[in-house]
Structure 1
Amino acid sequence: MASTQVIPTRMELTRLKRKLVTARKGHKLLKDKRDELMRQFLEMVKVNMDLRKGVEAGIHAANRNFVIAKAGMDEATLHTALMAPKQEVSLEVGKKNVMSVNIPVFETKTRTADENDIYSYGFAFTSSDLDGAVKSLADILPDMLKLAEIEKACQLMAAEIEKTRRRVNALEHVIIPQTMEDIKYISMKLDENERSSQVRLMKVKDMMLKEAHGWE
């Protein structure tokens, strides 16, 4: 149904036709954006699932190694060995624009470049099981950070997909049909007015002819 606020003029008809063209172009662009977002989102979800499996397996292995290390050492020695971490990791958070979505990018930097510089204790009073536990946890850290990055990106992209989907639906089911109805209504009104004007002109013409010829 046409809007009751529509003014049936040629200027309004021209404006609505331009609006319809713009709405159709916007609808196509937003559908393309939604489809591309969905494609990239599904790819990220797959990466996220693979990373999560790896991280969970790595954490499980690290916990198992720490349990074994704890069984072979007294508790005081273990606490002393892990009291002051030797290596330090700094995290920088950047962002990357993907289809107008700013997703986070994590970059890490260690205090020293030596990947073996992770043991804060001497090897004389600790077991080799503790070395394996510390190493397994250090190895899984990059994947843990990558998983956090991917999961946040998935959340942001899912929100953008939902927002884009609502806009596409609004254009497809509300704005475009309403604009088409308004255009149809104005066109019918203008045609009706034109026919009425023609009828009036014909009557005036007949009256003028009658007066000119003295017809009654």
Structure 2
Amino acid sequence: MAGHGERLTVVPTVTTLAAMKLRLAGATRGHALLKKKSDALTVQFRAILKRIVSAKEAMGDAMRAASLSLAEALYVAGAPLRHVVQQSVAGPARIRVRAHHDNIAGVRLPRFEHYLAVGAGGSSTSLAGLAGGGQQVSACRAAYARVVEVLVELASLQTSFLTLDTAIKVTNRRVNALESVVKPRLENTIVYIKAELDELEREEFFRLKKMQSYKQRELERQMESARRYAEEKVAGKVALKHGVSVGTATSMLDNGDRDEDIIF
């Protein structure tokens, strides 16, 4: 039988047994669902990890291409390009970021995406490269726009990665708790209740057998008394029929009082 620390402290009754069985069934279903959730999150976690590796490689390529494009633009356009870019920084940003959420097995994963703001920052930067090197300036702008796009994607993947990592740890802790603590305690409690109920049933059976034996002996005693009473009754009726009382009848062989001899 399980020790006291390995089971719940309950009163061993049929109602408690039914409640423990329901709790065990719920814990089993919860364990199966959490296990499936953990597997789904792990699959998504590995997929995001692969995408992060690809995004970091793309980030290195994009930064290298942007740096080379900036060098070409500065070489062709010269010093005036720096002043035009610095003046355009004071205006509102053209590229902005908004957040969404994806639901993966009940876990909300943040997802960021970039978009171009309508009517923001187009007048000052459009003048860059008019004096020379316009094509290189446009290529540089496109290269850095690609860098921003990859940065936003990488930030989205990194945030989802950390969120999934935390969710997987919490889910695995719950799975381990159900598998190693909750279910064994409930199973040990059910075994304990069944053992106690069986013991009570054996005690009740023994008590019923003792009661049945006592009633059987009492019935036999009453039947014996009735039989004796009936025999005595029958003997009394026979004696009355012959005119002799059973209590006052004397034996013919009794020599206590002898009659006198008759002489002819």
Secondary structure of the equivalent of 1:173? helix
Contact 1:59 1:140 (8 Å CA) reproduced: yes
On the 8 A contact 1:96/1:105 being kept in 2, the answer is yes
Pairs within 5 Å for 1:176-195: 176-195=183-202
Asked whether the equivalents of residues 82 and 121 of structure 1 are also in contact (C-alpha less than 8 Å), the reply is: no
The two structures, once aligned, show a CA RMSD in angstroms of 2.7
Contact kept in structure 2, 1:52 and 1:147, CA below 8 Å? yes
* 182 and 200 in structure 1: CA distance in 2 versus 1, 3 angstrom threshold: same
Higher relative contact order (CA 8 A, sep 6+): 1
2:241 matched residue in structure 1: none
CA contact (8 A) 1:119 1:134 kept: no
Q: 2:56 aligns with which of 40, 49, 52?
A: 52
Report the 3-state secondary structure (helix = DSSP H, G, I; strand = E; otherwise coil) of the residue aligned with 2:11.
coil
Contact 2:129/2:137 (<8 A) preserved: no
Which residues of 2 match residues 1-216 of structure 1 at below 5 A? 1=2, 2-3=6-7, 5-67=9-71, 69-70=73-74, 77-83=80-86, 84-85=88-89, 88-112=94-118, 119-125=125-131, 127=133, 130-214=137-221
Following the alignment from structure 2 to structure 1, what is the Cα–Cα distance between the partners of residues 72 and 55? 26
Which structure 2 segments of 5+ residues have no match?
Answer: 223-264
Question: Partners in 1 of 2:124 and 2:13 — Cα distance?
Answer: 78
C-alpha change, 1:12 and 1:181, in structure 2 (3 Å) is: same
Cα distance change of structure 1 residues 126 and 155 upon mapping to structure 2, 3 Å threshold: farther
Q: Is the 8 A contact 1:81 1:120 kept in 2?
A: no
- Alignment-mate amino acid for residue 110 of structure 1: L
- The runs of 5 or more residues in structure 1 that have no matched partner are none
Task: Please state how far the C-alpha of 1:80 moved relative to its aligned partner.
Answer: 0.8
SS in 1 for 2:29: helix
User: 1:96, 1:104 within 8 Å by CA — same for their partners in 2?
Assistant: yes
Answer with 1 or 2: which has the greater Rg: 2
Residue 82 of structure 1 aligns to a residue in which SS? Answer: helix
CA distance in 2, matches of 1:26, 1:111: 47
Query: Identical aligned pairs, as a percentage?
Result: 25
Q: Deviations over 1:75-99 (max 9, x none)?
A: 6x34312111476123221212121
Quote the Cα distance in structure 1 between the aligned partners of 2:187 and 2:152: 51
Task: Work out whether residues 77 and 129 of structure 2, in 8 Å CA contact, stay in contact via their aligned partners in 1.
Answer: no
C-alpha displacement of 1:178: 1.0
Separation in 2, partners of 1:121, 1:78: 9
Given residue 46 of structure 1, which amino acid in structure 2 is its aligned partner?
Answer: K
